[in-house]
Structure 1
Amino acid sequence: MSILAVSSSYAKIRSLIDNTTTDALPPPSSITAGVESLPANLTAHGLGEEATEAHLLSDICPGFNGPKTSPNYYGFVTGGVFPIAEVADNIVTAFDQNVGVHLPEQSISTVVEDKALGMLVELLKLDRGNHWQGRTFTTGATGSNVLGLACGREAVISTRLRAAGESHGVGELGLLAACAKAGIKEIQVLTTMGHSSLYKAASVVGIGRASVKDIPSSSREPWKLDIAALERELKREQDGIVSIVALSAGEVNTGRFATSGSSSVARIRDLCTK
């Protein structure tokens, strides 16, 4: 498709969005019509660019729900953006940049991402002595928890492996062999009101959904972590049961934090460091 066609298509998309109602959900008839317009099988020949564009805009778009166009859609918050962020998103698509590999002599893209991450750390007041060197953007909740649990798994197992005189970690030895050499019987993930993606991530990284354990301070405040219970659970390390602590910085349904403030976060950090 030519650059002119891309520009024209985007103008049509913007016009379509601007003229979409603010209803949270589309009419059932629009969903039905869109479904019926989908091809039942792979065709021998494609529709062509213009017909495909018309199909997407006329048949498919009217069947979308309203995270972007309605102030009243609360099903999923997938990331509505300010207009300038939408511009940036389209720049990335247009230039097809890859931030998975750091090649500063070939592209500025990873440098831009690193600067953005650094400013995010500053915004959240997390940068204490420039400790947050390893940082990245993820695709969302599942990606974040998979990455977080994988890093946590590596950290708790490697700590015991080093104490046993083993220089390799899970990546080299494999999960079962690493745990055996480290004398680990169980890995538990301690949390409160864990998001569903935390359980999914525990399954993906080989820890298991059953390892995710809630330790709330009370039934009235199930989102708040019981620090005394946390301390007891962490002491099980001497019995070969190691722990990863997953704190919520704003539980997804209520916005409640798992901690009461910076002092409780510092206390949890101290307990985990022991």
Structure 2
Amino acid sequence: MSSLKNRTIFITGASRGIGREIALLCGAAGANVVIAAKTAEPHAKLPGTIHSVAEEVEAAGGQALAIQLDVRDEDRVQEAMEQTVRQFGGLDVLVNNASAISLTRLQDTSVKRFDLIHEINTRGSLVCAQAAIPHLKKSDQAHIISLSPPLNLKKHWLKPFIPYTLSKYGMTLLTLGLAEELRDDGVSASTLWPQTAIATAAVQYALDEKIMQQSRTPLIMAEAALAIINSNDLSFSGQSWVDEAILRAQGVNDFERYKFAPDATELMRDLYLDE
């Protein structure tokens, strides 16, 4: 694993799931990791807080800063970025991981619910990126990574859950646009999405536990994110990446170790991916 010593990674939604796994891998590589999420106190059904993850990052070998953060609050986001720079002297990577899911038809989704998922997914990613950019420009290896899907305009993806799709595609359009806006500044911006469903406590709680048995663990997404973070040019910028494709390009051929259920014979392909 390449060293990330003296590099600072700001991860939203990092108290559990994929965000936590990215934080732990970055910590193991010696990075300064900002665990930015809303959960500061234990949840009754979802394990993990910003403080427990900070402890895990430091146990893994990194430096940690736990910040309670709602990405909808632009003033607090700005303060969090400034606090990060005061603590660690700079910022190298922003991971837009915080997300809200709502797989409902437009006709069955209240405007209030749409506002929530839009404000967390699209607007939250924009607010975090805008606050991070001045600091990222000072880094010689800067990245913005947003966990959002490739833009798939096939009818069968446009139909079933329009509000959620709008919010996640909005994250992708934002990030691909930033790749061009920031290209001359040397800041890479790319998106990352899983090939299969990912087994997280949130999936188990909000969706169907059966999906867990057809999923991979968050480790595969964390290792793919680390591959992007370790790149020192703009080779990943302006692209929508899938975790398995990145790791295959890195020489990984054994994907059995990522299965949540080792004896699973069929994995569930994630949303928006046809092949």
Q: Which TM-score tier does this pair reach, normalised by the shorter chain?
A: under 0.3
- TM-score w.r.t. length of structure 2: 0.23
Task: Tell me which structure has the larger Cα radius of gyration.
Answer: 1
Q: Which has the higher strand share?
A: 2
Which is bigger in relative contact order (C-alpha 8 A, separation at least 6)?
A: 2
Q: What is the TM-score when the length of structure 1 is the normalising length?
A: 0.23
Task: Name the structure with the higher helix share.
Answer: 1
